[in-house]
Amino acid sequence: MRSLLPLSLLLPLLASCAGAPPREATPRPEWSIVIHGGAGTIPRDAPAGEADAHRRSLAAALELGSEILARGGTSLDAVEAVVRLLEDDPLFNAGKGAVFHAEGGHELDASIMDGEDLSCGAVAAVRTVRHPITLARRVMEETAHVLLVGDGAEKFADTQEVERVENSWFDTEHRREQWLERKREAEGASASDPAHRFGTVGAVALDRGGHLAAATSTGGLTNKRFGRVGDSPIIGAGTYADDRTCAVSSTGTGEEFIRFGVARSISARMAYGGEDLETAARAVVEGDLAPDDGGIIAVDAQGRGVWVFTTAGMYRAAADSHGRREIRIWGEEE
């Protein structure tokens, strides 16, 4: 009679035929957040104090968003609070510190999106609202609309308890000097040169409830004309969030982000093509967009936060409940 294999030898053989058991997946963080202060950064040889100032601002915004999420706050509340803080920071092109348009004033754009039900709101070309991101959230929650612009957005703000300021409140001497330099370079020309086309702030987050949200705010382009509006208030271009896939905030050449529907495209590649977040983001940012067009930050439903950009740098930071904490300005070798 043929002898049977011992059980100790048989079990490994059966396991090898069935395939090795899958490794246990890394648990999803309870919360995750990524923020940005715009693509295109100060030069690497800029005075150390400039870089340190930006890092401190990013750190403060990251700490605020992390604290809200850690104590059980919603992703929507976190991204709004972070963007409000950055709108008040003159280092960034949003709110206080927004660039000047061709007539010497400021027109501000913002959008916000809730991944739980795809509700969203946006405003463009607002002039007297201290925190455009909060007005965008009011559009989402208090109206049946998505995007309000110009005088209509201002009239809507009259009906809401949002802080108002004179347009000159957004002035900073640094931005005024940039505007005057731009006017000297090319009076009346398109404001599309690389040095003048960047500047946005944004945040994306996953909360303890498993919900995603995204928010973006900007002052637009230096010396912009004719009521130009970029991608920041355009849902699907500058901002997108869907609990099934990811939340995205964009920064860069707004016209290109609109043309390729960058934020929505990343989500669609995940939903319909089965790609992971980083693969989808790189395919769009590095494949569809041209070099130096800008970048994105994103977080997926598993709490994985990424950034992808084709510029020399992007002000950015990330944190999660697993202990991640990163603050960057230039490339990954930083």
State the catalytic residues: 200
DSSP per position, 160-197: S---B--GGGG--HHHHHHHHHHHHH-TT--S-SGGGS
How far, in Å, CA of 229 to CA of 220, rounded? 7
Q: Which residue carries 């939903």 as its tokens?
A: 271
How far, in Å, CA of 328 to CA of 318, rounded? 9
213 three-state secondary structure? strand
Phi, psi angles (nearest 5°) of residue 120: -160, 160
Task: Tell me how far CA of residue 171 lies from CA of 43, 179, 212, 275, 322, in angstroms.
Answer: 23, 11, 33, 43, 40
Angle at 204 between CA 56 and CA 171, to 5 degrees: 50
